[in-house]
């Protein structure tokens, strides 16, 4: 199961369809709070979290969510692989963020269906069913 955090309905719908077409189940959250609640309640079932960096009023909700998840005491939840999705971020800036938050990867928008599938395959913590 893949957890997606994105507040753009069109992007969320596209991600949901592409993830399901690739053989995974998908849960969509539109807010940081909802995504965090899902991880707290059932984080161990998620193979990967795809997080939009620029979400919320300050456009940094994705980073807040990553920080919140990494702060969970239960390692089956806190160690969830997290991949940021965003447009216009250079890899040097990403590397700075990734080291402190143990981020697995960066998916640059716009992305191709193949790029998404490859990223999911590379960063997921257990294989698809």
Average pLDDT for consecutive 10-residue bins of the chain (129 residues)? Answer: 96 96 96 97 95 85 92 93 82 68 85 94 83
Res 20: pLDDT: 97
Break the chain into its structural domains and give their ranges.
Answer: 6-123
Res 59: pLDDT: 78
Which tokens go with 83?
A: 């991949």
Res 89: pLDDT: 64
Res 95: pLDDT: 67
Q: What is the pTM of this model?
A: 0.91
Helix extents (H) in the chain: 9-21, 32-42, 61-70, 75-78, 91-101, 113-123
Res 94: pLDDT: 65
Res 81: pLDDT: 96
What CATH class has 6-123?
A: alpha beta
Res 67: pLDDT: 93
- Distance (Å) of CA 128 to CA 18, 23, 24, 47, 122: 14, 7, 6, 8, 12
CB burial of residue 28 (10 Å; 0-12, 13-18, 19+): buried
Res 126: pLDDT: 81
Res 57: pLDDT: 82
Res 86: pLDDT: 84
Res 93: pLDDT: 67
């Amino acid at each position: 199961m893949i957890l997606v955090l994105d507040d753009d309905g069109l992007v969320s719908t596209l991600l949901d369809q592409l993830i399901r077409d690739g053989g995974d189940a998908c849960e969509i959250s539109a807010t940081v709070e909802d995504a965090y609640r899902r991880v707290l309640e059932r984080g161990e079932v998620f193979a990967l979290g795809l997080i939009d960096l620029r979400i919320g009023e300050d456009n940094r909700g994705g980073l807040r969510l990553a920080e919140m998840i990494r702060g969970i005491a239960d390692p089956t939840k806190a160690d969830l692989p997290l991949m940021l999705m965003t447009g216009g971020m250079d890899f040097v800036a990403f590397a700075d963020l990734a080291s402190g938050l143990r981020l697995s990867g960066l998916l640059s928008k716009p992305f191709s269906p193949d790029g998404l599938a490859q990223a999911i395959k590379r960063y997921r913590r257990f294989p698809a069913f």
